[in-house]
Amino acid sequence: MAVPHSSRHWSAVESLTPGDAADLQNRRLREQLDYLAARSDFYKAKFAEHSVDVTRVRTVEDLAGLPFTEKQELRDSLAATPPLGNHVAAEAADIVQIQASSGTTGSPSYVGLTRRDIDVWSELGARALYANGFRPGDRLLHGFGMSKGFVGGIPVVQMAQYMGIVDIPIGAEAGAERLLRVQADQRPGALIGTPNFLAYLAEQAPAILGLRARDLGVRAISVGGEPGGGLPAVRCKLESLWGATSREMLGGTDIACIYWGECEAGDGMHFLSPDLMVAELIDPETDEMVAPVPGAQGELVYTALRRQASPLLRFRTRDHVVVTGTDCACGRTGYKVRCVGRTDDMLIVRGINLFPSAVKQLVSELTPATTGEMRIRVDFEGHSTQKPLMLVVEYSDGLGTEQQDDLRSSIEQRVRSALGVKAAVELVPERTLARPDHVKVNLIERVS
């Protein structure tokens, strides 16, 4: 069990001056590049192909001259050299754990971990969860899926144990009734999962337990795994249902599990770990670096530091974020972001770029007339259309025909006003759209 640095920060690194953080990060970057050049067949070949001399890379800014690592390259590596690909850079005897991505297309991506890698993952996660409000001594109800080796399962358990938190690893696949019964019996004060699933869980509490979720003892909620946890309407719904604070975090399988965390300010997730990773912001159209100043947006690109088994350099995540701030009253000095979606989920409607999460926010703001559940129905190839945006939105029980007409008009007007696109809205009764479990909610529904 590790010990927090202070009552406000898990690690002293979180409050380093920008200059000290950059010096530490640059030193660790040079160490990681030397490691890749010596131990990774994948990067040896990549460096040779692109004429990269790693000894000339001295700072994060120098990364701009290095090639990206794409997800498809990792899939090809795994297929060509099973079980962990030729990007594995540790001896097989040193690998003690293998994690898998969600594998929504084809086989999952497999990631190897050494003992030190697990410690690094746990440290990264501890900083984020501590910012979210979790504390040593807490008990945690685990609302991510526990099965299939996914990163929301065992790695979160390991993070909790590293922090001195008692994890109750029931898992979302156990179902709402099982999770709620355990919550009622054990009364853990901390809860973790995807925002949509935790909202659904709270909504089931009166029918299953005869109690409101807010009466079940939850103090702090950490949400992630899908965009939306930071949307004001979604946060307000979660906090109202559970009577707890709800803060957002962000991560991913290929680099680590959790590594961005929102503090009590509630206005974006801090970058917390310049000593353990590099997070670049790039323009996905030009591939150029973007300075992380307030209002800037782009795609996150990661380089792992102090990583042994499956280290990645300039890995393109396709996560599209907006920078919400560069300073904070909490004392953390890492810039803050809000994830608005994935660049490969972005739609172009009559020439206007649109992220599904923006539509979700507009619909959620119209509760209680709507349940907040919606899907964008896509009947075209790719990401671009000249047609109106087709939305399927749930209306709440008890809404009359005239009120439904008003709701439909209101949604269409709000989408046009806020996003600049025309929408065609189909209203469906409450509980029509499939409710989420531990799987990420896909707001885009492709139809043939």
Tell me which fold the domain 347-446 belongs to.
GMP Synthetase; Chain A, domain 3 (3.30.300)
Task: Report CA-CA distances (Å) from 415 to 260, 390, 397, 420, 443.
Answer: 30, 11, 23, 7, 16
Please give the average per-residue pLDDT across 127-133, as a whole number. Answer: 98
Residue 217 φ then ψ, to 5°: 90, 10
pLDDT confidence tier of residue 190, bands split at 50, 70 and 90: very high
Q: Which pLDDT value is given to residue 346?
A: 75
pLDDT digits (tens, 9 = 90+) for 228-261: 788 888 899 999 999 999 999 999 888 999 999 9
Please give the average per-residue pLDDT across 294-301, as a whole number. Answer: 96
**Token pair belonging to 74:** 């990792």
pLDDT digits (tens, 9 = 90+) for 371-426: 988 999 998 877 778 889 999 999 999 899 999 999 999 999 999 888 888 999 99
Whether 146 contacts 171, CB under 8 Å: yes
The strand order across the sheet containing 389-395 reads: 423-429, 389-395, 370-378, 444-446
Query: Which among 355, 110, 340 has a CA at the least distance from the CA of 226?
Result: 340
Q: Which pLDDT value is given to residue 148?
A: 53
pLDDT confidence tier of residue 150, bands split at 50, 70 and 90: low
Please give the average per-residue pLDDT across 109-121, as a whole number. Answer: 95
Task: Report CA-CA distances (Å) from 161 to 2, 148, 165, 216.
Answer: 9, 20, 5, 23
Whether 156 contacts 167, CB under 8 Å: yes
Q: How far apart are the first and last CA of the chain?
A: 52
Q: Which pLDDT value is given to residue 413?
A: 92
Other beta carbons within 10 angstroms of residue 291's beta carbon come to 10
Please give the average per-residue pLDDT across 187-208, as a whole number. Answer: 94
Q: Which residues pair with 247 in a beta bridge?
A: 222
At residue 437, does pLDDT exceed 60? Answer: no
At residue 171, does pLDDT exceed 50? Answer: yes
pTM above 0.95, yes or no: no
Mapping DSSP to helix (H, G, I), strand (E, B) and coil, where does residue 17 land?
coil
Whether 76 contacts 45, CB under 8 Å: no
pLDDT digits (tens, 9 = 90+) for 355-371: 888 898 899 889 899 99
At residue 333, does pLDDT exceed 70? Answer: yes
As a whole number, the mean pLDDT across the chain is 92
Looking at per-residue pLDDT, the higher value among 434 and 27 belongs to 27
Q: Which residues pair with 205 in a beta bridge?
A: none
Report the percent of the chain where pLDDT is more than 70: 96
Q: Which pLDDT value is given to residue 109?
A: 81
Mapping DSSP to helix (H, G, I), strand (E, B) and coil, where does residue 392 land?
strand
For 352, counting Cβ atoms within 10 Å of its Cβ (0-12 exposed, 13-18 middle, 19+ buried), the class is exposed
Whether 225 contacts 192, CB under 8 Å: no
Looking at per-residue pLDDT, the higher value among 336 and 344 belongs to 336
Map tokens 């001195």 to a residue: 164
Residues in the chain: 448
Q: Which pLDDT value is given to residue 321?
A: 94
At residue 106, does pLDDT exceed 60? Answer: no
pLDDT digits (tens, 9 = 90+) for 270-297: 999 999 999 999 999 899 999 999 999 9
Q: Which pLDDT value is given to residue 185?
A: 98
**Helix and strand element counts for the chain (H, E):** 10, 20
With residue 96 as reference, give the H or E element that holds it. Answer: strand 95-100
Q: Which pLDDT value is given to residue 104?
A: 45
Residue 73 φ then ψ, to 5°: -60, -40
Looking at per-residue pLDDT, the higher value among 72 and 324 belongs to 324
Tell me which fold the domain 1-266+305-313 belongs to.
Rossmann fold (3.40.50)
Domain ranges of the chain: 1-266+305-313, 347-446
Looking at per-residue pLDDT, the higher value among 1 and 320 belongs to 320
pLDDT digits (tens, 9 = 90+) for 198-231: 998 999 999 999 999 999 999 999 999 877 788 8
Query: Which among 109, 368, 151 has a CA at the least distance from the CA of 256?
Result: 151
Task: Report CA-CA distances (Å) from 334 to 21, 119, 120, 313.
Answer: 9, 21, 18, 21
Query: Which among 194, 195, 198, 119 has a CA at the least distance from the CA of 163?
Result: 119
pLDDT confidence tier of residue 105, bands split at 50, 70 and 90: very low
